[in-house]
Each structure stands twice: as structure tokens, then as C-alpha cells.
Amino acid sequence: MIIRRRPAARICVLLAVLVAGLFPTGIAAADEPVAKESPKVELVLDVSGSMRARDIDGKSRMAAAKQAFNEVLDAVPEEVRLGIRTLGADYPGDDRKRGCKDTRQLYPVGPLDRTEAKAAVATLAPTGWTPIGPALLGAAEDLEGGDATRRIVLITDGEDTCAPLDPCEVAREIAAKGIHLVIDTLGLVPDAKTRTQLRCIAEATGGTYTSVQHTDELSDRVSQLVDRAADPVVTPVATRGAGQCADAPRLEPGLYTDREKFGEHRWYRVDVLPGQELRASVSVGADRAVNKDYGVLLRAVTVHGREIVRGSEAGDGRTDLISTGLRYPKAELEDADGVKPAAETVCLQVSNSFSAPPAVKTEPGLPVELTVDVVDAPGTAFDVAAFGLGRGWWLLGVLVVAGFVAGLLWGWVSRWRIAVWRTN
């Protein structure tokens, strides 16, 4: 049995070497994005009276939060500018108006002095109300300025007590500003209402929600979110599509965000030179309740209105995101008397067929993320996209050669196995 397995292993090695030679690893490597500015994170901690409850590993929620904060502060990456904001930390009374203004910045966003930050957290004691909405507005102001990655991490044990200022609507308003601020939420031993509210806040800005039952879970999750902010990312650019192509913004290759009303069409423009290929994709997020049966359409159209290519996707049921994409390779033209061929303006139309139940607010519009790339059209020997999509003659040639070599190897192995069997 051992003798019969070795040839198969040798074939795998030989084929791996062949594939490695045909597809050098350097071709697929992409340039790593570089963060232009140090990322900014603000931890928003609930210090309301309910944080006295002793139901996390036998200690109070406040004690668990302090322990987690100390561990997180020790591990914050050097490049992260961190701040801390509290809610419900100062006013213990029953005046609703005062209680709903009880939020302040405990430690400013900037280079972290771990000792100073820990000392500030150590002074906190469960006190007052739970003004989540005002705290989020304050945190968004704390993080204003620059193009850095921005993240709010909200830690709370209960739902907001300062309605009608709905924190979910606050999160949607923050997202609608196009400042690319993500809010992650963590619920300490949350009930059903708290979970619903915190999920809504997170989903409105593309963040995450986590339910926490133990101290180590809180520490690990907050550390993960801070580390995630430190990772280099492509920062989306806010744009605003037009009602017709003639008025549409001209987009360079990159990642863009927009807001689109229910059932709306929006237009954007991209220039494509002969010999280049336009690759575009769009995602529309359902950041609130929507009716069943929905879809998204992405069309590439000439300035005269002739459709070039389209991509579409439809669904039926509950969804958080629906996406589609398209590719348009423009044929290469020969220069005429040394005159460089002009670029073609391609109009991109983004449409959605979402609708909402009567009780759901339709403003602001649904979040849209549009990716645009313009590359050399497939045709070179090592065009990775062409291989990935099975385009061009190179893929066919590689498959033929690989099959031929594999057949030769298999025939040699078969004759060798017969010879070994006969000798035994």
C-alpha cells in the first residue's frame, strides 16, 4: 500500500511545481494600502446606575468594564489615537433634561498616555441616566477632522433612556454625513430591547454588535475592534450621484459611498481609454426594515443612452446587503498620425427596487457603496483577472499543457506500478 501511494504524491508535487512556474506568486500580489493618518478610536462607556448590577463573573458590570479597559489600554497599538467618553457618569438626580445631557469626554482623542487614561477610568462610579444618543453625537464631534479611519466603540448595559432622541436615528444621521465613521456596539448582559437597539446602531454605520456575558469576552472584543481600526484600510470617498448622466460626478478608480432613496436611480461618470477595461460593482445596504422583493441594478451606458452592459441582482426576504457588478473592456485602437485616442465617457447608473413598510422612515436614503476600477484590458500573458474568469486563450493553453503533462506522468507511473507488481 505504501508503494502505491508514493507515485500519487510525486504527481502532486510535480503538478504543484508546474503550476507555480506558470503562475508566479508575484503576479497576484497587490500593493498594500497605506493609511495616510493614524486611526482614531473613541471608547464610549455607560456609567449609568444600572452598571451596579453584579452579574458578570460575580462582580459588578462597572468592575468588569474597568478591568477590561485596563487590559485594552495596555494593548492599544502605538499608532492609534484613542479617546474615552462617558455617559451617565455625573448626574445622579431625577431631572430628565439634565440627565440626558450627562455625557463628557473623559480622555481626549490623541496619543495615549496609558497611566493617565487608567487613572481617569478608575475614578468612575455608576451614577445616572443612559443618554446613548447624545453620547454618540458627542463622540462623532470628538473624532472630527482629517481623513483617518474613525471608530466608536459603545459599551452599555441598557437601552437609551432619553427618547425621543432615538440613538438608531442618530447613527443613521452620522452615516448620512459621509464621514466614514463606524460604530461598534457591545451589550453587557443585554435584554431583547437592548439587543435590538444596539444592532440597529451598529448596522446603520456598517459596524458590529456583540453580546457580552463575561469580563474576558469584553476585553477580547474591544481589543479586536481597536486593532481593526489600526489595520490599513481603503477609506471610501463620499460622493453624490446625479439624476442624469450629464450632471453626474466624474469618478476616478476607487471606493465611493452615497445614499440613495427607495426606488431611486443615480448616475456617475467614468472615463475609459481604448485598451482599458472598466470594472465596477455596487452594494446597497438595507439598514432598516424593508419589504420583500427587492433588487439592485448597475448599468454602463454611453453618453447617448445606448446600454453597453448591465449587472443585476434580486432577492426575496430579509437581507442586509445586496450587490452586483459589471465589466466593460474597450477595444484598443491604433493611433492615427500619432494622435492619442480619446477616452470614452461611460455613464454608470445605480438603481434599486427597495420599498419600506408604512411605519418605516425612508430618510436618509439607503447606504450605497460603489467600487470603480479601470485597468489594462485582458490580453497579456499573465492577466490575473483573465485567468480568474476563464477568459482568453491562455487559460485554454495552460489546461491543455497541464493535461498533457499529467497524462504522460500517469502513463509512466502505471507502467512502473505494473513492473513492480510483476517483480513481487
Structure confidence at residue 61 (pLDDT): 94
Question: At which residue does the C-alpha cell 448626574 appear?
Answer: 91
CA angle in degrees (0–180, nearest 5) for 283-370-308 = 95
Decide: 402 and 18 in contact? Cβ < 8 Å: yes
Is residue 35 in some structural domain? no
Is residue 34 in some structural domain? no
Q: How distant is the alpha carbon of residue 409 from its chain centre?
A: 46
Using 50, 70 and 90 to split pLDDT, how confident is the model at 17?
Answer: very low
| Residues 246 and 283 occupy one common structural domain | yes
| Residues 73 and 205 occupy one common structural domain | yes
Is residue 56 in some structural domain? yes
Going by the DSSP 8-state scheme, the letter that residue 128 receives in this structure is B
Structure confidence at residue 8 (pLDDT): 46
Number of H helices, E strands in the chain: 11, 15
Asked if the model's pLDDT at residue 102 lies above 50, the reply is yes
**Is the pLDDT higher at 264 or at 336?**
264
| Residues 94 and 221 occupy one common structural domain | yes
Is residue 208 in some structural domain? yes
Structure confidence at residue 158 (pLDDT): 86
Q: Please enumerate, as own/partner, the contacts of 403-407 that have beta carbons within 8 Å and a separation of 24 or more.
A: 405/14, 405/15, 405/18, 406/11, 406/15
Give the up-direction half-sphere exposure of residue 165: CA atoms within 13 A in the CB hemisphere. 16
**Residue 205: CATH number of its domain:** 3.40.50.410
Full domain range(s) for residue 78: 40-230
Structure confidence at residue 12 (pLDDT): 47
Find the mean pLDDT for residues 153-165. Answer: 89
Is residue 132 in some structural domain? yes
Asked if the model's pLDDT at residue 394 lies above 60, the reply is no
- pLDDT single digits (tens) 184-223: 999 998 888 888 899 889 888 878 888 888 888 898 889 8
Asked if the model's pLDDT at residue 5 lies above 50, the reply is no
The Cα–Cα gap between 347 and 248 comes to: 8
Structure confidence at residue 349 (pLDDT): 96
Structure confidence at residue 138 (pLDDT): 95
Structure confidence at residue 302 (pLDDT): 94
The Cα–Cα gap between 132 and 137 comes to: 9
Find the mean pLDDT for residues 242-264. Answer: 92
Structure confidence at residue 374 (pLDDT): 87
| Residues 54 and 144 occupy one common structural domain | yes
Specify whether the backbone of 175 is left (phi greater than 0), alpha (psi in -120 to 50) or beta. alpha
Q: In the chain, pLDDT over 70 holds for what percent of residues?
A: 79
Asked which of 230, 253, 272 is the last residue of a domain, the reply is: 230
Is residue 352 in some structural domain? yes
Structure confidence at residue 285 (pLDDT): 82
Is residue 336 in some structural domain? yes
| Residues 352 and 401 occupy one common structural domain | no
Is residue 33 in some structural domain? no
Q: Which of 377, 98, 76 is nearest to 228 (CA)?
A: 76
Structure confidence at residue 224 (pLDDT): 84
Using 50, 70 and 90 to split pLDDT, how confident is the model at 266?
Answer: very high
Q: Mean pLDDT lowest for which of 81-95, 208-222, 335-349? A: 335-349
Find the mean pLDDT for residues 340-347. Answer: 87
Q: Which of 41, 75, 390 is nearest to 207 (CA)?
A: 41
Strand ranges for 235-318 from DSSP E: 237-238, 254-260, 265-272, 276-285, 294-302, 307-315
Asked which of 202, 230, 258 is the last residue of a domain, the reply is: 230
Peptide bond into 92 cis (omega under 30): no
pLDDT averaged over every residue in the chain: 81
Q: How many domains does the chain have?
A: 3
Using 50, 70 and 90 to split pLDDT, how confident is the model at 292?
Answer: confident
CA angle in degrees (0–180, nearest 5) for 354-282-252 = 140
Most confident of the ranges 30-34, 64-68, 372-376:
64-68
Q: Mean pLDDT lowest for which of 88-97, 293-302, 310-319? A: 310-319
